[in-house]
Amino acid sequence: MLTDQHLWTAPRAHHRLAGRVVVPGSKSQTNRALVLAALGDGPSILDGVLTSRDSLLMSAGLQRLGADIQSVGPSSVRVVPRLARPAGPIECGLAGTVMRFLPVVAALVPGSTQFVGDEPASRRPIGPVLNGLRQLGVEVDSDQLPFSLRAPDRLGGPEVTIDSAASSQFISALLLAGARFPRGIDLRHDGASVPSAPHIAMTCAMLADRGVTVVSDEPCHWVVRPGPIHAFDDAIEPDLTNAAVFLAAALVVGGSVTVPAWPADSIQPGAQFVGIADKMGARISRTDDSMTITAQGWQELRPIDVDLHEASELTPVVAVVASVAFGRSRIRGVAHIRGHETDRLAALAHELANLGVEIQQTDDGLDITGQGADKPHGAKFRCYADHRMAHAGALLGLVIDGIELDDIACASKTMPQFPQMWADLVQEN
């Protein structure tokens, strides 16, 4: 935790909002596109690429594995694919996509590769991916960061069975590189339901754009035939999960917030926030190129009972909105977020209760009895090195005096400019 002089006081909104926020590119799409470009059969140009800690770690890791990635514009990169054994360890930070996707890429390079990360990264689940690699003939010396893997001269397969109940990224990691395995991959999930299934659909759609077909003719089973991953110039959508915190600002304060360049038909799970906002009392306006949410503020919000199993990254923002609505809300289907950057259910329950919100953890989510924004009081709000917790604290600060975040810098994981973007939104008239 940072010392008091590093506390960030969340700005309070003293008027209805009338903001327009340009949201950076999707982290999920950026990091998948980088991996696929690095495994492609020729150079690719990626536009709208997110510049954040997670995406920079992904780029750096792929470059260590041989890819040439060069900036060709403010948010554009040119990727020239090549695979080579890295001379040093690959740094994962706290990024789930990096620690789960890159070991599979490294398995394509015979020899040893080391992976390291932030101290909390050792608590993030990664074992199923490494178990899948073992089934392909890779030697791995641990089931958590840090670890080393030794890839054989030729991978085995194609049959692999893993338990991906803790994260859909385990499935995506193996699918992204599956076409480059000598025999492809015949992948099965054996366990409880896979969370965030839209992220697997995103992976399959991006593979299809590059000429790779993923056959899934029964639940929990995916088959990728061996073959090339074609070079593909791609445009990254705005990150709709990051957009959710700005749209939620209109819900709690009142007024309207517009996000331009909203995709017409997105498979990003973050798009589900629009339906949640509608159920909680907002008015939704869609034009050809933007999404606007208009609301009357926390006094008019309705409670909600929602299953966020497919869009669990929205949990912190939805929990905050529910905490200042009147009535009992329930968030279900998100037990797996106990293994995210932090135990998000425990963190939300502790920090919101510390502000005076009536909240309890359940087996798979949160029960929240909101009593408006007048009852909660200001206090220090711990972020747990988790960007989504930072978003939650900033959102509370719009309507509650004295919310002080201990680590606004962790928002750089997906939005390095978040503090300034947030201040600009609050100050707009």
Token duo for residue 315: 């949990």
- Asked whether residue 168 is marked as a ligand-binding residue, the answer is yes
Determine whether 300 is an active site residue.
no
Q: H-helix or E-strand containing 361?
A: strand 358-361
- Asked whether residue 183 is marked as a ligand-binding residue, the answer is no
Q: Rounded to whole angstroms, how far apart are CA atoms 318 and 304?
A: 9
Helices (H), ranges, 193-314: 197-209, 240-253, 273-279
Cα dihedral 62→64→70→75 (10° resolution): 40
Q: Which 8-state DSSP code applies to residue 353?
A: H
- Asked whether residue 216 is marked as a ligand-binding residue, the answer is no
- Asked whether residue 64 is marked as a ligand-binding residue, the answer is no
- Asked whether residue 297 is marked as a ligand-binding residue, the answer is no
The label of the residue with tokens 């991996």 reads 35
Closest CA to 121 of 316, 341, 300: 341
- Asked whether residue 32 is marked as a ligand-binding residue, the answer is yes
Beta bridge partners of 77: 46, 71
The type of residue at 39 is L
- Asked whether residue 413 is marked as a ligand-binding residue, the answer is yes
Distance of CA 357 to the CA centre of its chain: 26
Q: Which of 91, 310, 313, 341 does the annotation list as catalytic?
A: 313
Closest CA to 25 of 12, 17, 34: 34
- Asked whether residue 351 is marked as a ligand-binding residue, the answer is no
| Longest pairwise C-alpha distance within the chain | 64
Q: Which 8-state DSSP code applies to residue 289?
A: S
Q: Which 8-state DSSP code applies to residue 212?
A: -
- Asked whether residue 180 is marked as a ligand-binding residue, the answer is no
Tell me the residue ranges of DSSP E strands in 92-132: 111-116
Nearby residues of 210 by Cβ (< 8 Å), 6 or more positions away? 36, 40, 229, 230, 231, 232
- Asked whether residue 14 is marked as a ligand-binding residue, the answer is no
- Which phi and psi angles does 332 have, rounded to 5°? -120, 165
CB of 77 closer than 8 Å to CB of 49? yes
Token duo for residue 72: 């060709």
CB of 116 closer than 8 Å to CB of 61? no
The type of residue at 421 is M
- Asked whether residue 313 is marked as a ligand-binding residue, the answer is yes
- Asked whether residue 96 is marked as a ligand-binding residue, the answer is yes
Q: Positive or negative, the Cα torsion across 215, 221, 226, 229?
A: positive
CB of 1 closer than 8 Å to CB of 406? yes
Which residues are known binding-site members for 3-phosphoshikimate?
27-28, 32, 167-169, 196, 313, 340
Which residues are known binding-site members for phosphoenolpyruvate?
27, 96, 124, 169, 344, 388, 413
Catalytic site positions: 313
Which residues are known binding-site members?
27-28, 32, 96, 124, 167-169, 196, 313, 340, 344, 388, 413
